[in-house]
């Protein structure tokens, strides 16, 4: 039976059948159907009361068509978002304030800076926790406590405090980003740096290796797979951190700013297109980390 399965695995149709494409397409189709249906359902009430108020003749067909073409719908139809995305991503110059690429870049720069800070902080904390027993006991509870505070509550404080000492713009946003993303890196790196087994440690002892030799030649390489697992989580939540950091500042640029202004004026289409850009950006960032991971682990003898 397995022979047959292998032999059919040629050609476009079998690729569709055995690959990931078909399942993903099916999911997309299902979501689209639900979405269009949901758009009619959610927007219908407003439209119907409007028709009645203006004494307009209406049929189901007219209702559906109108529900998918409203200017400020409760739930915009996918194609409306696509049109808006086309307009704001491709038709505008990327330096324009109406370009989503421009806003995405503002948020990305804060994300990347926060991700860099967070990675550095996370790794340093992990190194300290693994090597100094006092830090293990004193620091870890604080690291965990830091994550129990809702970021939405603390973000405005950080902005205000930093604004007071003259830091505005990208830095405060990236600090909020860092605040969120150092945590998975610390947790992952502590585990990774402690991952060498007794045998691997004993081996170092028989060579009477120094602590720094054990660190660089054993602990660090052993922690790399753990680091990348953490980085993938961290880069995604750095983006969340950067967007959240834009909300309480009344920022005029960035994806968060688009979300905020969209909600002020009931521009749901604008909100949704900003959300799409944010999720594409998130996927892109995670993808970049994954590719880097593949390359690095490949060089370290990982099974391709």
Partner 1 sequence: MTTSNKPVIDIEKLNLIFETPDAPVHALNDINLQINSGDFVSFIGPSGCGKTTLMRVIADLETPTDGHITVNGMSPKEAREQRAYGYVFQAPALYPWRNVQKNVMLPLQIMGLSKDEQMERVKKNLALVNLEGFEKKFPWQLSGGMQQRVSIARALSVEPDLLLMDEPFGALDEITRDHLNEQLLRLWDQTKKTVVFVTHSIPESVFLSSKIVVMSPRPGKIIDIIDCNLPRDRTLDIRESPEFLKIAHRVREGLRAGHSYDD
User: Under the rule (CB under 8 A), what is the footprint of partner 1?
Assistant: 199-200, 202-209, 213, 217-218, 221-222, 224, 300-301, 303
What SS3 state is found at 20?
coil
Compare residues 169 and 225 and give the one whose CB is closer to partner 1.
225
Q: How far is the CB of 221 from partner 1 (least distance, A)?
A: 5
CA dihedral 104, 105, 110, 113 (to 10 degrees): 130
Q: How far is the CB of 202 from partner 1 (least distance, A)?
A: 6
Rounded to the nearest 10 degrees, the angle between the axes of helix 78-85 and helix 268-299 is 70
Q: How far is the CB of 119 from partner 1 (least distance, A)?
A: 20
Q: How far is the CB of 129 from partner 1 (least distance, A)?
A: 23
CA distances from 181 to 146, 188, 207, 215 (A): 11, 12, 38, 24
Compare residues 28 and 201 and give the one whose CB is closer to partner 1.
201
Compare residues 216 and 287 and give the one whose CB is closer to partner 1.
216
Q: How far is the CB of 205 from partner 1 (least distance, A)?
A: 6
The token pair that represents 125 in the structure block = 């904390």
Compare residues 85 and 193 and give the one whose CB is closer to partner 1.
193
Q: How far is the CB of 299 from partner 1 (least distance, A)?
A: 9
What SS3 state is found at 172?
helix
Compare residues 223 and 267 and give the one whose CB is closer to partner 1.
223
How far out from the chain centre does Cα 272 lie? 16
Q: How far is the CB of 172 from partner 1 (least distance, A)?
A: 39
- Cα separation, 113 vs 98, whole angstroms: 24
CA dihedral 172, 92, 94, 98 (to 10 degrees): -20
CB contact at 8 A, 82 and 142: no
How many other C-beta atoms lie within 10 A of the C-beta of residue 138?
11
Compare residues 112 and 189 and give the one whose CB is closer to partner 1.
189
Compare residues 41 and 207 and give the one whose CB is closer to partner 1.
207
How many other C-beta atoms lie within 10 A of the C-beta of residue 199?
7
CA dihedral 26, 30, 35, 37 (to 10 degrees): 140
How many residues does the structure list for the chain? Answer: 304
- Cα separation, 103 vs 176, whole angstroms: 18
Q: How far is the CB of 193 from partner 1 (least distance, A)?
A: 14
């Amino acid at each position: 039976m397995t022979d047959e399965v292998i032999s059919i695995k040629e050609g476009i149709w079998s690729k569709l059948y055995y690959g990931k494409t078909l399942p993903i397409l099916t999911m997309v189709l299902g979501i689209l159907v639900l979405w269009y249906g949901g758009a009619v359902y959610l927007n219908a009430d407003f439209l119907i009361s409007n028709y009645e108020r203006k004494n307009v003749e209406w049929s189901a067909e007219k209702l559906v068509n109108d529900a998918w073409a409203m200017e400020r719908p409760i739930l915009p139809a996918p194609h409306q978002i696509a049109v808006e995305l086309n307009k704001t991503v491709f038709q505008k110059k990327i330096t324009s304030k109406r370009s989503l690429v421009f806003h995405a870049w503002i948020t990305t720069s804060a994300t990347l800076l926060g991700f860099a800070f967070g990675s550095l902080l996370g790794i340093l904390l992990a190194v300290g926790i693994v090597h100094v027993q006092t830090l293990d006991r004193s620091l870890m509870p604080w690291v965990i406590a830091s994550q129990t505070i809702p970021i939405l509550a603390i973000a405005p404080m950080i902005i205000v405090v930093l604004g007071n000492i003259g830091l505005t713009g990208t830095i405060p946003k990236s600090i909020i980003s860092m605040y969120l993303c150092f945590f998975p890196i610390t947790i992952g790196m502590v585990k990774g740096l402690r991952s060498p087994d007794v045998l691997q440690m004993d081996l170092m002892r028989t060579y009477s290796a120094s602590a720094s030799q054990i660190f660089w030649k054993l602990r660090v390489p052993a922690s790399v797979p753990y680091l990348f697992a953490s980085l993938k989580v961290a880069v995604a939540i750095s983006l969340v951190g950067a967007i959240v950091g834009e909300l309480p500042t009344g920022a005029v640029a960035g994806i968060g700013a688009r979300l905020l202004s969209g909600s002020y004026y009931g521009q749901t289409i604008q909100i949704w297109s900003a959300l799409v850009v944010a999720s594409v950006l998130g996927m892109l960032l995670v993808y970049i980390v994954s590719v880097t991971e593949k390359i690095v682990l490949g060089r370290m003898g990982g099974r391709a």
